[in-house]
Amino acid sequence: MSWEEVDKGWGDQAHVWASIMEPRWWPEFDAVLRATEVGQGTNYLDIACGSGFMINMAARRGAQAHGLDASGRLLTLAKRRTPGADIRHGDMNALPWSNETFDVATSCRGIWGPNQEAVVEAARVLKPGGCLGLSFFSAGRESSQIGKAFHAIRRISEHEIEWSQQLGEIGLEGRAEEMCENAGLVPRDRQAVQFDLEGADIEHEIRAWMSAGPAWMAIQERGAEEVESSIREELSQLEEPGIGVRTQVQIEYVVATKPT
C-alpha cells in the first residue's frame, strides 16, 4: 500500500481512534517524551503522529511541536487538538523539513520493521546531538494480552498474517538498534514500559479496535460483522464485572543520538 492510500484504512474511523483509542497509550508517550527530554523550547517532531495526542503532550511541556502523518483525516483531528503546532500531511520516508531541523524526533508504533528508510529520514532532520525515540511492541506480543486483539484480526485476514509479522520484527532483540545504527545514530539501552489499555466494556473495546488500520484491512476482506465477532470472542475473555476490559501491553523503546 502506498502512503497516499494509508488514509483509507486509518482515516475511516478517525474520530473514534482520536477519542477512545489513541489517548489510552499515554503512558508510552509519557515514557518516550521523558527519555528524550522533551521540554520547554525543544524543537520536536512526531513521525506518524496519528491524531496527535503525543504532539499535544509535547506542546504542554513547552516544546515547539511538529508532526507528520499519511492520514489526512487523522491530521484534521491532530490540528484541532493542537492548533499552534506545525502538522503536515506526507510520507515518513520523505519528510518535508530541512536537514538538521529538530532537537528530538519520536515515533510511537509508527515506524516498523520494514521502515529502515524512515529512520534514515528521521536522522537526516535531527540536529547533531539530537535524538530519536522509537517505540514498538515487545517481541512476543503474540502470547500477551494485547496479542489477543491482533490475533482476532489476523486469524481472519490473509493480508494481516504476513504483514503484521514483518511489522513486528522491529521488536526483535537488537533490530531497532540496528535500524538506528544503519542511519548513523547511536542507540542507548532499550527500555520498557507496561500499562493496561482501559476499556469500559466489551462494546467500547470493539469500537476502539475497529478504528485501527489493520481492522480496516480485515473488514475489506471479511466484512465488519466477522471482524467484530472475532474481536468480541478474544477480548471478552478479559472482561471483569465492575472493572471493564483491561488489556496488558508492554512497549519497548530505544533512544538513539545523532553524533555531533
Ligand X SMILES: C[S@@+](CC[C@H](N)C(=O)[O-])C[C@H]1O[C@@H](n2cnc3c(N)ncnc32)[C@H](O)[C@@H]1O
Residue placing its CB nearer to ligand X in the complex, 54 or 238: 54
Which residue, 11 or 130, is less far from ligand X as judged by CB?
A: 11
Cell digits for 11?
A: 482515516
CB of 185 to ligand X, least distance (A): 19
CB of 25 to ligand X, least distance (A): 5
CB of 94 vs ligand X, minimal distance in Å: 9
Q: How far is the CB of 205 from ligand X (least distance, A)?
A: 16
Q: Which is nearer to ligand X, 3 or 239 (CB)?
A: 3
Residue with smaller CB distance to ligand X, 116 or 236: 116
CA distances from 71 to 7, 76, 78, 157, 218 (A): 4, 9, 11, 22, 18
Shortest distance, CB of residue 253 to ligand X, whole angstroms?
Answer: 12
Instruction: Please state the closest distance from residue 108 (CB atom) to ligand X, in A.
Output: 4
In the bound state with ligand X, the residue whose beta carbon lies nearer, of 81 and 236, is 81
Residues found near ligand X in the complex (CB under 6 A): 3, 6, 10, 22, 25, 48-50, 69-71, 74, 91-92, 108-110
Residue 41: burial class (beta carbons within 10 Å; 0-12, 13-18, 19+)? exposed
Of the candidates 132, 237, 219, 145, the one whose C-alpha atom is nearest the C-alpha of residue 176 is 132
Least distance to ligand X, CB of residue 222, Å: 21
- Nearest-CB residue to ligand X? 50
**Closer residue to ligand X in complex, CB, 111/126:** 111
How far apart, in Å, are the Cα atoms of 94 and each of 66, 85, 87, 115?
15, 20, 15, 12
Residue (130 or 133) nearer to ligand X, CB: 133
Spatial contact of 146 and 171, defined as CB atoms under 8 Å apart: no
